Structure 1
Amino acid sequence: MRARRRSRYVKDQLSACLPHLRNFALHLTRDPVRSDDLVQGTLLRAWASLDQFQPGTNLEAWLFTILRNSFYSEHRKRRREVEDPEGGFARRPMVQPEQDSKLMLDDLQEALIRLPSGQRTALLLVAEQGKSYETAAALCGVAVGTLKSRVNRARARLAAMLQMENRHDLGPDRLMRAALQHLKSTNPV
């Protein structure tokens, strides 16, 4: 019977405290929806912990303490979270794994070294240095058609050595430029 009287007392007092709790929550969050959620969570926590409430003490102060502590806990939690409503940020890794790139770079450098020197030179001039076919042909002392053929053969051979399906996959991306730059620095043209 005693527990019933206490729960009836708390129910009567809760309805009187609701407007004050809402105002306090709105003051903390500055968001009506979040403040309603905070008040609801406070009431649920209070109801679950009703046996800890001391009859004769200030119920409103007890509820305000629960609300404030809930707000601070939520605030600390949200401070570490990144808002990502569409999930795009979570799907994209922050740091790309290095081991795959390193292994691919090593394979590419090894394959470049195994190319005939004429093909390697032609590929370095066009793909790494960005020279036009005409300029690269003049530097190598060959016809433009010959240089284009060497670049084409070098790409096809690299694609075969690296087990790629298409020689066009060896475009001027970061990995290709890095491998060519490294090869150039260790074996000057």
Structure 2
Amino acid sequence: MAVKRVYVHRSRYDELVDALSSALDTQRVGPGDDPASTMGPLNSAAQRDKVAAMLAQAAGAGAEVRELGTLAPGVATSKGHYLRPTLVLDPDTGLRIVTEEQFGPALPILPFDDIDSVVDRVNNDWSGLCSSVWSGDPARAAALAERLRTGTTWINQANAVACDDRAPFGGFRQSGIGREMGPEGLLSFTEAHTITTHG
């Protein structure tokens, strides 16, 4: 459910990039048992290398790859699987950082001019678990949320703890089949028994 990419209207692009850069630059990446750490390692060397390869591809294709935050002393030469939080600015939409799930601290920021093109891109993507819409206009945000084909769409939040256990949870397309939680999730644990009679 973590945010995998951000689409932002071009008129707010610089503002968002500056705010995210400032927030991420305060992060300290280090061991989880270090009270000064605000971010820990990735779960494996293979996953770290996958995300690093995505970032290298983006940089090689000309996207600005902005590494932020700091590594705790000794982390770079340790056996941990650490990466600094990174923004990938205005990458080509065909790059892996956009088309695949990173499962790491790397976030592409994609400016747009036409919201309909973003809706089409989201709705035709292979994935469809979660999305979020951010706006100061609640009615406009709700109207856009209704157009998105994802299992969950948050408005002005993007956080797993915002899930309502009474509501069904699951994705569209290759993001899963069926639902858990809510009445729809409970039904998957039942077995229907049909009895028919004649006359």
Do both proteins adopt the same fold according to a TM-score greater than 0.5, normalized to the shorter chain? Answer: no
In our comparison, the structure showing a higher alpha carbon Rg is 1
Structure having greater relative contact order (Cα 8 Å, sep ≥ 6)? 2
Structure 1 length normalisation: TM-score? 0.20
Q: Which is helix-richer, 1 or 2?
A: 1
Structure 2 length normalisation: TM-score? 0.20
